[in-house]
Amino acid sequence: MRTSATLLLLFISIIPFEIHAQGQGISFEAIISKKTLGINETLRVDFKVNKDGDNFSPPNFKDFRVVGGPNQSVSNSWINGKRTFSKSYSYFLSPIKKGSLSIGQATIEIDNQLYKTMPVKVLISKSVTLNNDPNNTNYVVNENLHLVAEVSKSNPYLNEGISVTYKLYFSPQINVTNVGEIDSPEYVDFWSNNIKIPRLQIERGSYKGDSYNYVIWKKIVLYPQKVGKLNIKPLSLDVSVDVPTNKRDFFGNRIYTQVPKTVTAGNRLIQVKPLPGNAPINFNGAVGNFEIIFSSSKTELNSSESLQATIKVKGSGNLKLFSAPELSAPSSLEKYDPEHSENVKTTLKGMSGDISDTYTLVPQFKGKYPISPVEFVYFDPTSNKYKSIFSKEIVVNVLEGPSSFSQKNKTQVLSNDNTNNISLTKSQFRFIKTKTELIKIESQKFIYSTPFYLLLLLPVIIIFVLIGFFKFKTVSDSDIKGYKSRRANKLAKKYLTEAKISLSRKDVFYVALERALHNFLKSKLSIETSDYSKEKIKLLLGNKNIQIESIDLFIKLIENCEYARYTPASNVVINKDYENALKVISEIDKQI
């Protein structure tokens, strides 16, 4: 009876309380364990509701990883007859990133009504030192296992070799059982060469003052190919570590537990310096310390034989990243493409060895071929200077062979003649001349000089002068007297020819003859027609020392002309008179 009474009491007390609770209202809230925390710490968030509900849905913890939960707990209590109900959903969160993160809204349905929590802000700061509980295996591993990237030089020049050594330090307390590379770093903007490590060897060293064992996991030689800040991505290793625990086995030995652990060597920034700006023209990017060797397989040969000329760059530096300087041989040496060979070893100090280009040269003509020294320019990072080195000059002597001059002539003149080849191919470099006629170096050229013009104009002047002179002479010669006599002479001839034409007609003939004789005298003796008498003629002709016979003949002819007007004359007489006239004219002409 007593129990039933209690039960009844219980029921009675519940009913009015429920009514009371409904009147109180519902609270649904998110409670976080701390408002600020380190990124390596965990956070507990409770979603508390004071009335039972359904369909709880947590927020999307997008900036967190859910480490634990959800855990549910319900509490019911009566204090002084007052009932308190509380239900909570708990999550353990570990932040993913730093900064001010917010935990979103959780929802719950109570009495068909949706309730939401307010979003909560949490400030995530950088990692804080974890509790150094020496029994925590994770802590032990963290303290005793380190991956370190050692960079030989953090501010190299462009193309200057640097090395990166990854060392895995572990304290003697723990044992490393298995190491695997998860994430290999990429060396963008570097020329990289991995130096193979044949066998991992444990060595003793110290890390931050403590004695440690270490293993060189990876060695890499890098040649930066870009100026500026370059990032070396971290290397991540997955290491299985045996950590001692406090537990001891039956024999009293420590029991080890195996803990998997990921270690990373942090990002390394490399500040690459550009090479100084005053680079010589022939600089082709070689950085290091080099020497140049230029050699030839032979220096004396016959034409159409071949020789090997080798340009070798020897030393240490970025040998694989540039090419040997080009050979500049005379164009009359036939040059074939070079054969490239490399003999380069890469160590932590960088590349060393030599690269060489071997050219095959075939001379075509006899003669001397100096192959000019090869210049090689490199940057020496230790002295921060460009250095230019020269090889020695090689002179190739071609002893036998055609000369290029005779070759030229042959193609021009003797394209199809083979017989002269012997003499032509024997063409030699000729000796100097031992005798000469030295002449003054003329500053004044003959052409366009005064003597040049004078010499050219002189003939023209001479011609004009002569022509002019003769013109003048004829004019001066032509006085009236001379003119008249020349005219009379002409007339005499004219009349004689007239007379000759009319040999058959007597009267015309003698008139013409008489006129001819008169004119002749006029021209020779300057006698006017009015002054015409036989005595005068005789006298004048006598004065001119003309032979008597001629004078007589002339007078006779004149008489004949006069008689013939009145007396008949035969053809014979006429002919005879004509001949006499010719004869006497020419005779007197001669004698004057």
Partner 1 sequence: MKKTVVIIYLIFSGLIFSQDNNKEYFNAGVELYNNGKYNEAINQFQSIIENGEHSEVLYFNLGNSYYKINDIANSIYFFEMALMLNPNNNDVLNNLSFSQNMLIDKIEKLPANQILDFFNFISKTLNVQQWLMIGILLFYVFLATFLLYFFSTKTNLKRNYFTLSLIFFSLAVVFVFSGINQFENNKNTVSAIIFEKKIDFRTEPNSRSEVLFDLHEGTKVVVKEELNEWCLVEIKDGNKGWVELKSIKKIN
Q: Which long-range contacts (CB under 8 A, 24 or more apart) does 553-561 make?
A: 553/580, 553/583, 553/584, 553/587, 554/517, 554/584, 554/588, 556/580, 557/513, 557/517, 557/581, 557/584, 558/514, 558/517, 558/534, 559/534, 560/510, 561/510, 561/511, 561/513, 561/514, 561/517
Binding mask 37-66 for partner 1 (x = CB under 8 A): ------------------------------
Give every CB contact of residue 293 below 8 A, 6+ residues apart in sequence: 310, 311, 312, 313, 314, 391
Q: Which of 144, 163, 403, 523 binds partner 1 (CB under 8 A)?
A: 403
Q: Which of 368, 490, 576, 583 binds partner 1 (CB under 8 A)?
A: 368
Work out whether 572 is an interface residue with partner 1 (CB under 8 A). Answer: no
**What is the Cα–Cα distance from 85 to 74, expressed in whole angstroms?**
7
Binding mask 434-473 for partner 1 (x = CB under 8 A): xxxxxxxx---xxx----x--xx--x--xx--xx--x---
How far is CA 424 from each of CA 365, 367, 411, 431, rounded to the nearest angstrom?
12, 15, 12, 17
**What is the Cα–Cα distance from 215 to 201, expressed in whole angstroms?**
6
Of residues 271 and 332, the one with the C-beta less far from partner 1 = 332
Q: How far is the CB of 460 from partner 1 (least distance, A)?
A: 8
Q: How far is the CB of 439 from partner 1 (least distance, A)?
A: 6
Q: How far is the CB of 443 from partner 1 (least distance, A)?
A: 9
Of residues 350 and 367, the one with the C-beta less far from partner 1 = 367
Work out whether 475 is an interface residue with partner 1 (CB under 8 A). Answer: no
Of residues 31 and 463, the one with the C-beta less far from partner 1 = 463
Work out whether 421 is an interface residue with partner 1 (CB under 8 A). Answer: no
How many residues bind to partner 1 according to rule CB under 8 A?
44
Q: How far is the CB of 426 from partner 1 (least distance, A)?
A: 11
From the list 95-103, 106-114, 401-409, 481-489, the region that binds partner 1 by CB under 8 A is 401-409
Work out whether 284 is an interface residue with partner 1 (CB under 8 A). Answer: no
From the list 18-26, 118-126, 399-407, 488-496, the region that binds partner 1 by CB under 8 A is 399-407
From the list 35-43, 215-223, 432-440, 539-547, the region that binds partner 1 by CB under 8 A is 432-440
**What is the Cα–Cα distance from 585 to 517, expressed in whole angstroms?**
8
Q: How far is the CB of 481 from partner 1 (least distance, A)?
A: 24
Q: How far is the CB of 418 from partner 1 (least distance, A)?
A: 21
From the list 168-176, 193-201, 423-431, 571-579, the region that binds partner 1 by CB under 8 A is 423-431
Q: Which of 58, 161, 288, 367 binds partner 1 (CB under 8 A)?
A: 367
**What is the Cα–Cα distance from 565 to 511, expressed in whole angstroms?**
8
**Of 110, 113, 119, 95, whose CA–CA distance to 47 is shortest?**
119
Q: How far is the CB of 339 from partner 1 (least distance, A)?
A: 21
Work out whether 199 is an interface residue with partner 1 (CB under 8 A). Answer: no
From the list 46-54, 430-438, 548-556, 569-577, the region that binds partner 1 by CB under 8 A is 430-438
Work out whether 369 is an interface residue with partner 1 (CB under 8 A). Answer: yes
Tally of CA atoms within 13 A in the half-sphere of 590 that contains its CB: 7
Q: Which long-range contacts (CB under 8 A, 24 or more apart) does 65-69 make?
A: 65/93, 65/94, 65/95, 65/96, 66/91, 66/92, 66/93, 67/42, 67/92, 67/93, 67/94, 68/92
**What is the Cα–Cα distance from 302 to 165, expressed in whole angstroms?**
56
Helix (H, G, I), strand (E, B) or coil at 564: helix
**Of 501, 506, 508, 515, whose CA–CA distance to 568 is shortest?**
506
Of residues 168 and 371, the one with the C-beta less far from partner 1 = 371
Give every CB contact of residue 378 below 8 A, 6+ residues apart in sequence: 283, 286, 287, 288, 289, 290, 317, 386, 387, 389
Asked if residue 360 lies in contact with residue 270, where contact means CB atoms within 8 angstroms, the answer is: no
Of residues 11 and 429, the one with the C-beta less far from partner 1 = 429
Q: How far is the CB of 369 from partner 1 (least distance, A)?
A: 6
Work out whether 422 is an interface residue with partner 1 (CB under 8 A). Answer: no
Of residues 1 and 432, the one with the C-beta less far from partner 1 = 432
Query: Could you say which residues in the range 297-336 bind partner 1, by CB under 8 A?
Result: 328-332
CB neighbours of residue 351 within 10 Å: 23
Work out whether 196 is an interface residue with partner 1 (CB under 8 A). Answer: no
Q: How far is the CB of 564 from partner 1 (least distance, A)?
A: 39
Tally of CA atoms within 13 A in the half-sphere of 7 that contains its CB: 4
CB neighbours of residue 504 within 10 Å: 9
Asked if residue 84 lies in contact with residue 20, where contact means CB atoms within 8 angstroms, the answer is: no
Of residues 202 and 463, the one with the C-beta less far from partner 1 = 463
CA angle 112, 114, 116 (to 5 degrees): 155
Q: Which of 126, 433, 481, 590 binds partner 1 (CB under 8 A)?
A: 433
**Of 154, 361, 132, 379, whose CA–CA distance to 279 is shortest?**
379
Q: How far is the CB of 507 from partner 1 (least distance, A)?
A: 39
Q: Are strands 120-125 and 36-38 parallel, antiparallel or unpaired?
A: parallel
Q: How far is the CB of 341 from partner 1 (least distance, A)?
A: 25
Q: Which of 115, 166, 365, 509 binds partner 1 (CB under 8 A)?
A: 365
Q: Contact residues for partner 1 (CB under 8 A)?
A: 328-332, 365, 367-370, 372, 393, 395, 403-406, 408, 427, 429-441, 445-447, 452, 455-456, 459, 462-463, 466-467, 470
